Chain A
């Protein structure tokens, strides 16, 4: 069934009768022309055109990185990138998905790693093949300053690399464009792991409260909850005190006996 036939047969069509024809726009999926309703995301448009995703599709919410997509518009030499689940189709887009890009991923015993920059240099020596062409930055659908984050790694600044790459969803489009064949997104993941484990200060109050829980500070409370019947449990739940959204640091619950 062609896309055109499909829309004529679909229930959506009858709801928008008379307007359907003007709302269709042409797109090219892997070189083949389809007409799809405007306003759909690339992913929906591909499904509309008959594609059935078993890979290259994950959260549909722009956070999993499974649907990395490249496209071009006629007359523009620039390669554009997007997440298929986030970007609305535009007329005459030439679209190809890159759901996966093969890349070297270093093996390491994380517990043995330190925050020394050389740890990353040894695991990913190709880091030094970067020529600062900046194609990675241009390919990032998250708008990350990929080249600057790579520069930070070269400069031994793991914290900066971790912070700059915080929004990375590991789609791999940077890697697909890299002149030096770097594994940017794996390097960044390692940087963020090292950052979290060895650079960011530990939350001391967290360790304290975990110790208190281990020592049984809340055991009685839990036992009490277990012993009440369903009606009482619901009542307790509905009447529980909740910290207001705009509570200041000084806010305390009425019952402070458990703090």
Chain B
């Protein structure tokens, strides 16, 4: 039996490279991702307003969809979807009054009491497959590839929904080691990419991109690995701006962890949809003889 899978809207549009490489890789590992037959937007960002329950309806409805399928676990790939779904789930578990209000509002749905656990695909790799078992499935070890693990915010913050240590996360480092790549720790691994500031304050994005990429570069990284489509978008936009402003700026490719996984598992590189990546990471993979 497969794992219930919530893709999120961005994975169906801008981040098809994240989704398709993940589905192919998990298939190869024998854990099929089964997309929920019905789902809606997760809400995009978790609403922090105390009396803003209408913005909890969207994420909770998705949790109800998983419950309807008889699933007690729902896996996501997008950091923002994970954050929004997991926090809404906490609300449903812990706040009886708001749970009742939401259940009453959605009177066309079955009641939901927080029965489904929301997990990130990295957690599935770590907890259900295991790094040792994963490394044994690797057919093309990513030898000689120096990759900086970049977490961004929403995988790790706030603490109650973090998939790993908030201060000193290692899950991406362990993942990279399992694939045979060389993890390059750097101090800005959990720094914010600027998030939705890209809309209202785009100047910040190139500043943050500079801080993140120059830090990774100075620690010897050749590429960045990430999990979040918004980080991917912002770092891409930030690099475009930096290239325009500073002729000496050296671009760094970045990839989704699932793309590295697909390459390491020896899958057809078509599933990586590299044409959707910023800065053509496949040329680096070719230099490293990981792609023909």
A199 CB contacts on chain B under 8 angstroms:
none
CB-contacts of A116-161 with B (<8 A):
117-118, 128, 130-134, 137-138, 147-148, 150-151, 154-157
Task: Classify the interface of chain B: helix, strand, loop or mixed.
Answer: loop
Q: Is the CB of B40 within 8 A of A132?
A: yes
Q: Mark B59-84, 1 if CB is under 8 A from A, else 0.
A: 00100000000000000000000000
Q: Is the CB of B61 within 8 A of A154?
A: no
A155 CB contacts on chain B under 8 angstroms:
7, 9, 12-13
* Given A151-B41, A154-B41, A131 contacting B57 (CB threshold 8 A): yes
Residue B54 CB within 8 A of the other chain? yes
CB-contacts of B1-45 with A (<8 A):
7, 9, 12-13, 38-41, 43-44
Complex Cα distance, B41 from A131, in Å, reads: 8
A157 CB contacts on chain B under 8 angstroms:
12
A138 CB contacts on chain B under 8 angstroms:
108
CB-contacts of A181-205 with B (<8 A):
none
B9 CB contacts on chain A under 8 angstroms:
154-156
A148 CB contacts on chain B under 8 angstroms:
38, 40
Residue A179 CB within 8 A of the other chain? yes
Residue B110 CB within 8 A of the other chain? no
Complex Cα distance, B9 from A132, in Å, reads: 13
Residue B134 CB within 8 A of the other chain? no
**Interface extent on B, as a size class?**
10 to 19
Complex Cα distance, B58 from A164, in Å, reads: 20
A179 CB contacts on chain B under 8 angstroms:
54
Complex Cα distance, B43 from A133, in Å, reads: 11
Q: Mark A222-251, 1 if CB is under 8 A from B, else 0.
A: 000000000000000000000000000000
Q: Chain A's nearest CB lies how many Å from the CB of B197?
A: 17
B43 CB contacts on chain A under 8 angstroms:
131-132
Q: Is the CB of A151 within 8 A of B57?
A: no
Q: Chain B's nearest CB lies how many Å from the CB of A142?
A: 17
**CB closest residue in chain B, given A133:** B57
Q: Is the CB of A151 within 8 A of B40?
A: yes
Q: Is the CB of A134 within 8 A of B12?
A: no
Complex Cα distance, B39 from A94, in Å, reads: 35
Q: Chain B's nearest CB lies how many Å from the CB of A110?
A: 22
Interface residues in A, total, Cβ within 8 A: 19
Complex Cα distance, B61 from A150, in Å, reads: 15
Residue B203 CB within 8 A of the other chain? no
**CB closest residue in chain A, given B13:** A156
**CB closest residue in chain A, given B105:** A133
Q: Chain A's nearest CB lies how many Å from the CB of B112?
A: 14
Residue B106 CB within 8 A of the other chain? yes
Complex Cα distance, B62 from A154, in Å, reads: 15
Q: Chain B's nearest CB lies how many Å from the CB of A120?
A: 11
Q: Is the CB of A117 within 8 A of B13?
A: yes
Q: Is the CB of B55 within 8 A of A131?
A: yes
Q: Is the CB of A134 within 8 A of B41?
A: no
Complex Cα distance, B43 from A154, in Å, reads: 11
Complex Cα distance, B195 from A98, in Å, reads: 42
Q: Chain B's nearest CB lies how many Å from the CB of A126?
A: 13
Q: Is the CB of A132 within 8 A of B13?
A: no
Q: Is the CB of A151 within 8 A of B12?
A: no
Complex Cα distance, B65 from A148, in Å, reads: 12
Q: Is the CB of B12 within 8 A of A132?
A: no
* Given A132-B61, A134-B106, A147 contacting B40 (CB threshold 8 A): yes
Q: Chain B's nearest CB lies how many Å from the CB of A165?
A: 15
Q: Is the CB of A133 within 8 A of B13?
A: no
Q: Chain B's nearest CB lies how many Å from the CB of A128?
A: 8
Q: Chain A's nearest CB lies how many Å from the CB of B245?
A: 27
B54 CB contacts on chain A under 8 angstroms:
131, 133, 179
Q: Is the CB of B58 within 8 A of A132?
A: yes
Q: When A and B form their complex, which 3 residue pairs have the shortest distance between CB atoms, in order from nearest?
A: A132-B58, A151-B40, A156-B13
Contacts A131-B58, A132-B58, A156-B12 given; 19 further ones with Cβ under 8 A?
A117-B13, A118-B13, A128-B44, A130-B40, A130-B58, A131-B43, A131-B57, A133-B57, A137-B108, A138-B108, A147-B40, A148-B40, A151-B39, A151-B40, A151-B41, A154-B41, A155-B7, A155-B9, A155-B13
13 inter-chain pairs at a CB distance below 8 angstroms, sorted by A residue, are: A130-B41, A130-B58, A131-B55, A132-B61, A133-B54, A134-B106, A147-B40, A150-B40, A154-B9, A154-B40, A154-B41, A155-B12, A179-B54
What is A's interface to B at a CB cutoff of 8 Å?
Answer: 117-118, 128, 130-134, 137-138, 147-148, 150-151, 154-157, 179
